[in-house]
Amino acid sequence: EMRLLESGGGLVQPGGSLRLSCVASGFTLSDYAMSWVRQAPGKGLEWVSAISHSGDDTFYADSVKGRFASSRDNAKQTLYLQLSSLRAEDTAMYYCATHFPHCSSGSCSYFDHWGQGTLVTVSS
Amino acid sequence: EIVLTQSPATLSLSLGERATLSCRASQDINNKLAWYQQKPGLTPSLLIYDASNRVTGIPVRFSGSGSGTDFTLTISSLEPEDFAVYYCQHRYNWPHTFGGGAKVEIK
């Protein structure tokens, strides 16, 4: 069974930093491009970042560009999201998710398997 | 950034009724659109990809249509487990974005 387990969330002051981790099990992480998606309490979904299979290519939402950084260690089956210069509006549950592998062209950036999330709260 | 606008925000319907949800893109996105269902306390589930393709295991009462800027998710006959929030999402270019969501509630 494919599983994703996020960790690293918590309470942080505005301007602070956190590193989120997402550990994959039940599949080979290097077979999948991955994304981070967040959801503020009681609000909708917001795509945050994507990273290619190898980690060579990364993409970001305008709202986090220059402040967040995605990386991965396929040997450790782990995905990372470094959050910096945090703001109150970054408060959300952060999910990692696999990209859907069955589009006509192969893998495509829809989100198939999701972790249970890790909560980031930015407050003084 | 492409903006996806979902309507209506809330749809109040009875069991067995047909639900029609709309997602409009601020520019042409070809067919690069997916639909998700999210129930309270759970993570989203991918229902439809590339506008009209049902994910394996999704019931046939769910169907997607559209191309360009206008897309529709139809639930042909609502079952109790279908009352949830539905989101559209595009993959046409970066950054990807989601619509604001549409809640299907029991009338």
Q: What is the mean pLDDT of residues A36-63?
A: 97
What pLDDT sits at residue A106? 75
Q: Would you call A29 helix, strand, or coil by DSSP?
A: helix
What pLDDT sits at residue A105? 78
Of B1, B55, B87, the CB nearest to A45: B87
Q: What is the mean pLDDT of chain B?
A: 97
pLDDT digits (tens, 9 = 90+) for B50-79: 999 999 999 999 999 999 999 999 999 999
Between chains, do A108 and B36 touch, taking CB under 8 Å as contact?
Answer: no
- Residue A111 to chain B, least CA–CA distance (Å): 7
pLDDT digits (tens, 9 = 90+) for A106-117: 778 999 999 999
* CB neighbours of residue B67 within 10 Å: 15
Q: Would you call A99 helix, strand, or coil by DSSP?
A: strand
Query: B33: which strand partners?
Result: B90
Q: Which of chain B's residues have a Cβ under 8 Å away from the Cβ of A36?
A: none
